[in-house]
Structure 1
Amino acid sequence: MQQQRLAAILSLDVVGFSRMMQKDSPTLLAALNSLYRKIVTPAVARHHGRIVKLLGDGALIEFSSAIEALECAYAIQKRLREADLPFSYPEPIRLRAGLHAGDVVVEGDDLFGDAVNIAARIQAAAHPGGILLSHIFRTLAGSHIKIPLKREGRHSFKGIEQPIELLSVDFTDPDVAEHRRRHAEMQEIKFCTTKDKVRLAWTTNGSGPPIVKAPNWISHLQLDWLGPGFAPITTSISAKYGLVRFDARGNGLSDWDVAEISFERFIDDMEAVFDAAGVDRAPIIAFSQGCSIAAAFAARHPERVSAIVMIGGFALGRARRGGARDLKLAEAFRAMMTAGWDDDYPSLRDLLSQTIIPGASEEDRRRYAEHMREMITPENLGRFRDVIDYLDVTELLPQVTAPCLVAHCRGDRMHPIREGQRLAAGLPNARFIAYDGDNHLVPENDPVWPLLERDVQGFLKEYV
């Protein structure tokens, strides 16, 4: 006999299940069985839920309380984000989670109805390792939710008439977020002068042995603390070391009105900051084109560089990669950036934000897009692109004697993984690590982040 009741529904799905089954189904099924037995089932029991059914690639779970459902999903995903998690195949197993609440139809032990279907649709839209929930679910949970949430806007789903307003779970520790805000406000900004009389803004965050960050395409010493791409790694490293950061010429808090923006000047600027900070020898941490700058600096001054961490890097700019498509993309990117940089929402900056940090929440991507406008002028951006798109450090790479950790996400939309592999292959003392993610800069909401943090901290410990 059919019954109807109000329920909070948690839908779980295994990311990449079909692909992994084709490779080694017995190993995957054994790992999933262990994962459900040790993590999912105990979490559901603790939060007074009921597993309606386990599917090969996921689960349908019912709760009478929306808060219990959210806390259960959070506990499961939090556990799966731990860097030493043994559930892998051979890559870490990731789940997507979707939460919705509404009337369900009960037939025996099974559930049917719109609430079930909508929870499944929401789950399919979640990032790997993420949790999405409907605004209706959030309203039913009331005002006692302690888990931080971020707005994700309205989304349309096939078979559902009205768009649904969504939120995502923010896995950033609130205490860490407050710590970053204080750092942004209280850090001491200093200035040094380059060989060609350009003023560079620099600062040191944290204490201990120094680590120097190479300049990336745009930055801002204060705003980077608030951005989802740089804030996690900056916080992590400055907690153990003295992280020296600076804004490259032409952007951030450094001089914008400069006669020359060139790759050679970027290398000179690194030397000026090393000298101003009193750093004789240290590791460098670099992102994107900063990896090429770090490599060139290490080739020129091997005595000053003990190691390099390279994240999302490349040795060849887009226009140098040998394909007509890459050249056209470089030209199109430059034209779009300079023409549309100051546009209001939705802007080119929003598109870039989605490309650089697709795993961040819509709210964080929007804020990052707004911050970009404060970092650089459209004119200087065009000058930067002329340098970045045409750089080529392949002949310098064999001269880099320092050990290098080269890290790249397999689905990086800004610079494909083959460019990170090319970079690592040219370095005589490099270790390459690929992660199953699609971010260029890795935010904390990406389950790749704990792995990246573990690997970077482990590598630096050897060479500081």
Structure 2
Amino acid sequence: MAERRLASILAMDVVGYSALMEKGRDELLRALDQVFRSSVRPKVKAHGGRVVKLMGDGAIVEFGSARDAVLCAAEIQEWMRSDSIPYGFSEQLALRMGIHAGDVTASAGDIFGEAVNVAARLEAAAPEGGVLISKLVADLAGSSLPLTFRNEGIHRFKNIEEPLHVLSIVAKRDDFASKKKIPDAREDIRFAKSDDGVRLAWTAAGTGAPLVKAPAWISRLDMDLRLPHLAHFVRSFSQSHRFIRFDARGNGLSDRDIPEITFEQMVEDLRTVFDAAKVESSAILSMSQGCAVAAAFAARYPERVKGIVMVGGFPLGRAKRHTQRDRDRAVAMQAMMKAGWDDDYPSLRDMMADIIVPLASVEDRRQFAEAMRDMVTPEIISRYRKVLDDIDVTDILSEVKAPCLVLHCDGDRMHPAEQGRLMASHLPNARFVTYESASHLPSANDPCWPQIKSEILEFLDQFC
């Protein structure tokens, strides 16, 4: 009798099987038998999987857990890369793999369904020794895996109706080599004092030309490398720059018990950090409200700004926009933040995480929401939100002489792409680029992130 169930499917095959058969059929079959007996079957069993069928050059494996499927695939490929595999064949053997999750139908010991078909398509597209997984599998597996994933973008596969967001598992050796180059800024937190006596926590990672980040939304420096909206920015740009960032007044590790918060103070706090880091002039990376802060800073101190990258920015806060709906939302959001910021799941913070990084995994969004609780108090976030809603820099944008790269996702629900277009249209030396995404701040697995990263690096190169 047929049974339907949810499963994670791992499809694998041998790279170049037909050509290898011509070089020695019996030797190849003995080598493959050794591979399956020494690695594949034991690791599948250890992770609670079931080898459904062998197909000469490959296999279909079923798991009840996406996490187990991903870990098993990574471990098998790591074993295949080892220097002393006892399979006694003249050629180096390599596997490629694909993993997808979904409903399957089990009948007479076999399984059928879209999850099997998609896993097979991913396997066929995987590189030699590689593993491709769908984003659904990555979301189900969670972010606590001891693995690194690389975003491979959106792909269409034959006979699969919907396009698929694909990631690859980064080999441990490559991951270790790349991480060795990434400075860790968590232990280098310093404090600068603003003109009105507020202590601002700041840090720097990497070497090279300075790149100063204007504060975006809320933050806490010792959490930056764990959160989906910022970790990949820090890791990417600290490899080529001295990447300087700080917590805005009222949140994170900066002073929270402060008498007032104003947009004017935010601009001057940026100057304070420039001075503390001994930066005479620099490019600025800005996101969300940080774009308006960076623009105001550049208009006031033109000699200190070489260029500005703006991601998801807006020149007009909600309270200054032209529709009553936006103005009503500004008032409602301020009240909700003061009254419900500390709520348990599902909270206002969860909603914010879903809007800011909608393409991050479910687990990463949940972690982001919990981290926001530790970044700022309910009373401060309400006051902070009011300052952001009252932003209006349209009158001073014409004074910004530095070149600006204005980037915006076309489906941004926090601040629509029209705000980015408005920002760029008032800047005398700006380039406006939109991306197909629902993100406010793109996470590392957002399909548009590689394009955004490349665009930013190309823009920054002119200032190095």
Q: Same fold (TM over 0.5)?
A: yes
Give the drift of 1:352: 0.6
**Cα distance in 2 between the residues matched to 1:332 and 1:309:** 31
Q: 1:8 to 1:435 in 2, by over 3 A?
A: same
The residue number in structure 1 matching 2:60 is 65
Task: Indicate the SS of the match to 1:286.
Answer: strand
Q: Does 1:270 find its partner at 2:270?
A: yes
Task: Indicate the SS of the match to 1:64.
Answer: strand
In structure 2, stretches of 5+ residues that fail to align are: 18-54, 64-68, 75-97, 120-132, 150-165
Q: 1:217 to 1:100 in 2, by over 3 A?
A: closer
Q: Does 1:436 find its partner at 2:436?
A: yes
Q: Does 1:132 find its partner at 2:136?
A: yes
The equivalent position to 1:116 in structure 2, one of 104, 113, 116, is: 113
8 Å contact from structure 1 (residues 10, 100) kept in 2: no
8 Å contact from structure 2 (residues 182, 239) kept in 1: no
Give the drift of 1:98: 4.1
8 Å contact from structure 1 (residues 8, 65) kept in 2: no
**Cα distance in 2 between the residues matched to 1:176 and 1:289:** 35
In structure 1, stretches of 5+ residues that fail to align are: 12-42, 49-61, 75-95, 107-111, 123-128, 139-144, 150-167
8 Å contact from structure 1 (residues 171, 445) kept in 2: no
Q: 1:288 to 1:177 in 2, by over 3 A?
A: farther
Q: Does 1:183 find its partner at 2:184?
A: yes
The residue number in structure 2 matching 1:85 is none
Give the drift of 1:296: 0.1
Alignment of 1:360-375 (within 5 A): 360-375=360-375
**Cα distance in 2 between the residues matched to 1:240 and 1:198:** 31
8 Å contact from structure 1 (residues 180, 235) kept in 2: no
The residue number in structure 1 matching 2:195 is 195
What letter is aligned with 1:116?
Answer: G
What letter is aligned with 2:278?
Answer: G
The residue number in structure 2 matching 1:344 is 344
The residue number in structure 1 matching 2:388 is 388
The residue number in structure 2 matching 1:57 is none
**Cα distance in 2 between the residues matched to 1:133 and 1:199:** 43
Alignment of 1:392-431 (within 5 A): 392-431=392-431
**Cα distance in 2 between the residues matched to 1:401 and 1:270:** 18
Give per-residue Cα distances to partners, 1:202-238, cap 9 Å, x unaligned: 1111111111111122111111111111111111111
Q: 1:358 to 1:278 in 2, by over 3 A?
A: same
The residue number in structure 1 matching 2:320 is 320
**Cα distance in 1 between the residues matched to 2:136 and 2:397:** 43
8 Å contact from structure 2 (residues 9, 115) kept in 1: no
Alignment of 1:248-287 (within 5 A): 248-287=248-287
Give per-residue Cα distances to partners, 1:242-300, cap 9 Å, x unaligned: 01111111011100011120000001111111111111111000000000000000000
Give the drift of 1:336: 1.4
**Cα distance in 2 between the residues matched to 1:424 and 1:47:** 51
Give the drift of 1:337: 1.4
8 Å contact from structure 1 (residues 171, 444) kept in 2: no
**Cα distance in 2 between the residues matched to 1:134 and 1:300:** 45
Give the drift of 1:441: 1.2
What letter is aligned with 2:378?
Answer: P
8 Å contact from structure 2 (residues 200, 253) kept in 1: yes
Max Rg structure: 2
Q: 1:182 to 1:274 in 2, by over 3 A?
A: closer
Give per-residue Cα distances to partners, 1:385-413, cap 9 Å, x unaligned: 11000110000100000000000111111
Give per-residue Cα distances to partners, 1:418-462, cap 9 Å, x unaligned: 111111111010011111111111111112111111000000001
Task: Give the stretch that moved more between structures: 97-106 or 347-356.
Answer: 97-106
Alignment of 1:168-317 (within 5 A): 175=176, 183-186=184-187, 188-317=188-317
8 Å contact from structure 2 (residues 9, 99) kept in 1: no
What letter is aligned with 1:241?
Answer: H
Task: Indicate the SS of the match to 1:394.
Answer: coil
Give per-residue Cα distances to partners, 1:32-51, cap 9 Å, x unaligned: xxxxxxxxxxx988498xxx
Q: Does 1:99 find its partner at 2:101?
A: yes
Task: Indicate the SS of the match to 2:249.
Answer: coil
